[in-house]
């Protein structure tokens, strides 16, 4: 099972919106509405930001939103803030044999 | 308050077997829908899902590592154990345990702080 494909880096200025893509296949992203997104600051554990494609856990800012079209999921960060600078990973359920697959990760830089 | 904490050796030699323990609190792994996974991250690289055990003692493994991994749980101790055989330097990584709950479907909603395992002779 190959990792989901994400851009290596995305950048934006404070206040702007950015979108991170996560491309999988019809066996994972395309088959299940079970895509999640994680934020990871250097030296820290990942933090759940989005689950089931577009749902936000309690306490996560509504500046973070998720969507999916076909085999590609997306995470949008609106009103970019300095604290959003981190690595972001998508993850998708891929069926009972492969189970879970993570993305390649995207480094978000706030200019 | 949900917490998870990984413990195990910081250094293992090539060919040895690694045993990691995840000790958790704030939930029960006997509750329907609860699961604990192990996930690793080599230095500077992406996350990789390794294994999952659920409330019903069903176990799932990474296809590429299946022959080397064993996951088990001790519900009375609130612990999940992962063993990985035949360790190699490429297995050097931070190993995390993380919870999946019915509230967040297959997402990992709580993570431990991770434990760095270095494989070197």
pLDDT tens digits for range B35-50? 999 999 999 999 999 9
Write the pLDDT tens digit of every residue in B69-109: 999 999 999 999 999 999 999 999 999 999 999 999 989 99
Decide if pLDDT at A61 tops 90. Answer: yes
Mean pLDDT of chain B: 97
- Which residues in chain A touch residue B47, judged by CB atoms under 8 angstroms apart? 38, 46, 89, 91, 102, 105
Among residues of chain A, what percentage have pLDDT more than 90?
95
Contact B105/A34, CB-based, under 8 Å?
Answer: yes
Contact B105/A51, CB-based, under 8 Å?
Answer: yes
Mean pLDDT of A79-105: 95
**Measured between alpha carbons, how far is A11 from A20 in angstroms, rounded to an integer?**
10
Residue of higher predicted confidence among A10 and A98 = A10
Is B97 in the A-facing interface, judged by CB distances under 8 Å? no
A69 CB burial (10 A radius; 0-12, 13-18, 19+): exposed
CA distance A98 to chain B (A): 6
Is B3 in the A-facing interface, judged by CB distances under 8 Å? no
Mean pLDDT of B61-76: 96
At residue A96, the pLDDT reads 86
Model confidence at A75, pLDDT cuts 50, 70, 90, reads very high
B78 to A4, B27, B73: CA distances (angstroms): 32, 9, 8
> Which strands sit side by side in the sheet containing A72-77, from one edge to the other?
A18-23, A72-77, A64-69
Write the pLDDT tens digit of every residue in A3-41: 999 999 999 999 999 999 999 999 999 999 999 999 999
CA atoms within 13 A on the CB side of B49: 32
Question: Which of B46, B53, B97 to mutate: most A Cβ within 10 Å?
Answer: B46
Model confidence at A97, pLDDT cuts 50, 70, 90, reads confident
At residue B100, the pLDDT reads 96
Dihedrals phi, psi of A42, to nearest 5 degrees = -55, 130
Mean pLDDT of A42-52: 98
Residue B76's H or E segment, with its range, is: none
């Amino acid at each position: 099972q190959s990792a989901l494909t994400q851009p290596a880096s995305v950048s934006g200025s404070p206040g702007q919106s950015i979108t991170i893509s996560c491309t999988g296949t019809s066996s994972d992203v395309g088959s299940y509405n079970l895509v999640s997104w994680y934020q990871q600051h250097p030296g820290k554990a990942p933090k759940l930001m989005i689950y089931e494609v577009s749902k936000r856990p309690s306490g996560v800012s509504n500046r973070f939103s998720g969507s999916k079209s076909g085999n590609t999921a997306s995470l949008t960060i609106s009103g970019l803030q300095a604290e959003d600078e981190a690595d972001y990973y998508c993850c998708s359920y891929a069926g009972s044999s492969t189970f879970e697959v993570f993305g390649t990760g995207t480094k978000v830089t706030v200019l | 308050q949900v917490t998870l904490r990984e413990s195990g050796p910081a250094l293992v030699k090539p060919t040895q077997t690694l045993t990691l323990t995840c000790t958790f609190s704030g939930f029960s792994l006997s509750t329907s829908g609860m699961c604990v996974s192990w996930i690793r991250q080599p230095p500077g690289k992406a996350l990789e899902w390794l294994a999952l055990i659920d409330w019903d003692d069903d176990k799932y493994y990474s296809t590429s590592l299946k022959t080397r991994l064993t996951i088990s749980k001790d519900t009375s101790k609130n612990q999940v154990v992962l063993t990985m055989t035949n360790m190699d330097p490429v297995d050097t990584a931070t190993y995390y345990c993380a919870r999946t709950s019915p509230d967040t479907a297959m997402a990992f909603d709580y993570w431990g702080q991770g434990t760095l395992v270095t494989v070197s002779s």
